Amino acid sequence: MKTKYLNTVFSALLGLAALVVAPLSLVATANAQEINQKILVISKQRIMIESLAGKEIASQAADLLKVVQAEIIAERDQIEKEENDLKEQFAILTPEQRQAKGEALQLRKAKFNSFAQLKEREYQASIAKAQNEIGKILVPILEEIIAERKATILVDQSQLMFSSPDHDITADALLRIDARLKSVKVERVRAEAKQQAKAEDPKQ
């Protein structure tokens, strides 16, 4: 009777041990799979800055920025000129003319910030469109490198605190991009008519 009781207890303990060991084995398997995964790292920022096309975009972007700034300054100067003209002509204008010119000037002042913001959005959209051309070339290049190195995960450098240089494929990607895309033209992106109208009339 005692022996039968001990056998029952022992069997129960073995069953409990199996329940404990099973999850541990699953964790070990998962950890092994994670270890076997090959992770690669790339710096998209370096690609955009250091590639031949990226450098060309930066140069054209600087020129475009000057154009956009000149447009904003020209609008500001025109507002100041109208304000000074109104002051100089105030004495010879009829009350109706003063009111009309004053209202027109206030409206132009009111829409200036919208005008400047619209030009800024046009500038940013122009750069983004050009950089997207690099992205189109980059995607198949990354697919090639991932396949060649039998990697399973690709992470951008900006998402990591530290990574081994052995995992960094940025230099390799740069060489391949420069061989396929040496320059990109930055084309001015204009705001849609609806956005332009809204900037011209803040009441819309």
Confidence of residue 138 (pLDDT cuts 50, 70, 90): very high
Q: Are 170 and 142 in contact (CB under 8 A)?
A: no
Question: pLDDT tens, 31-71?
Answer: 544 455 799 999 999 999 999 999 999 999 999 999 999 99
Same domain, yes or no: 141 and 117? yes
Query: What is the rounded distance in angstroms from the CA atom of residue 195 to the CA atom of residue 204?
Result: 10
Same domain, yes or no: 20 and 54? no
Return the SS3 of 44.
helix
Q: Token pair for residue 2? A: 């005692």
Same domain, yes or no: 3 and 64? no
Nearest CA to 46 among 143, 138, 108, 163? Answer: 138
Write down the pLDDT at residue 90.
87
Same domain, yes or no: 1 and 68? no
Same domain, yes or no: 144 and 165? yes
SS (HEC) of 96-146: HHHHHHHHHHHHHHHHHHHHHHHHHHHHHHHHHHHHHHHHHHHHHHHHHHH
Same domain, yes or no: 24 and 45? no
Same domain, yes or no: 19 and 46? no
**Position 53 in a domain:** yes
Backbone dihedral angles phi then psi of residue 71, each to the nearest 5 degrees = -65, -40
pLDDT at 196 over 60: no
Ranges 73-77, 128-132, 161-165, 191-195: which has the least confidence? 191-195
**Position 147 in a domain:** yes
Query: How does the average pLDDT of the chain come out, rounded?
Result: 82
Same domain, yes or no: 7 and 58? no
**Position 86 in a domain:** no
Residue 159, classified by CB atoms within 10 Å of its CB into exposed (0-12), middle (13-18) or buried (19+), is: exposed
Q: CA angle 64-198-126, nearest 5°?
A: 25
Task: Give the containing element (helix H, strand E) for 191.
Answer: none
**Position 91 in a domain:** no
Q: Which has more pLDDT, 127 or 8?
A: 127
Confidence of residue 164 (pLDDT cuts 50, 70, 90): confident
**Position 51 in a domain:** yes
Confidence of residue 200 (pLDDT cuts 50, 70, 90): low
**What average pLDDT score do residues 96-116 get?**
92
Query: What is the rounded distance in angstroms from the CA atom of residue 78 to the CA atom of residue 73?
Result: 8
**Position 99 in a domain:** no
**Position 92 in a domain:** no
Same domain, yes or no: 63 and 123? yes
**Position 123 in a domain:** yes
Same domain, yes or no: 29 and 56? no
Domain with 143 in it: what CATH number?
Answer: 3.30.910.20
Ranges 27-41, 62-76, 118-132: which has the least confidence? 27-41
Same domain, yes or no: 31 and 120? no
Write down the pLDDT at residue 40.
95
Residue 130, classified by CB atoms within 10 Å of its CB into exposed (0-12), middle (13-18) or buried (19+), is: buried
Structural domain boundaries enclosing 6: 1-36
Number of domains in the chain: 2
